[in-house]
Amino acid sequence: MFRKLAKTLCVVAALGAAGSAIPTAASAASYGATISIGSGGVELVGHRGHPRRHAGCSPRRALDKARHFGLRHARIRNVGHRAITVVGRKHHGRAVIRFARVRGCPVISYR
């Protein structure tokens, strides 16, 4: 009789744990996370945050970075598949900066 009671309590505890994990799974899925259920319990794996925030170099980000480098009257000259060209003025005259279209907007060339 004690074994049957112990088994029943284990089943109820397992169902209770699974029932409480369902809302967590739904809310985690809406944030782009993956849930792993294993012998160690339920754990959140692979939460990536905002995937579009640092996807690549946008023209706006390249323009801001060029202004940070000291380019005055900066404007976008060309937006290509691989590079963004920004032109403006420095102390010595006209300046052209090319940024790669990858994360962080690295400078390709500066004239």
Query: Distance between terminal CA atoms of the chain?
Result: 86
Q: Report CA-CA distances (Å) from 49 to 20, 32, 36, 54, 55.
A: 23, 7, 18, 11, 12
- Give me the residue spans of the domains in the chain: 2-45, 59-110
- What's residue 1's pLDDT? 64
User: What is the average per-residue pLDDT within 21-32?
Assistant: 53
Question: Which regions of the chain does DSSP assign to beta strands (E)?
Answer: 34-38, 41-45, 72-79, 83-90, 93-100, 107-110
Q: For residue 87, report the phi and psi dihedrals to the nearest 5 degrees.
A: -115, 155
Q: Residue 20: is its pLDDT beyond 80?
A: no
Please state whether the predicted TM-score (pTM) of the whole model is above 0.85.
no
For 97, the token pair is 């900066």
Which of 5-14, 47-56, 69-78: highest mean pLDDT? 69-78
Q: Residue 32: is its pLDDT beyond 70?
A: no
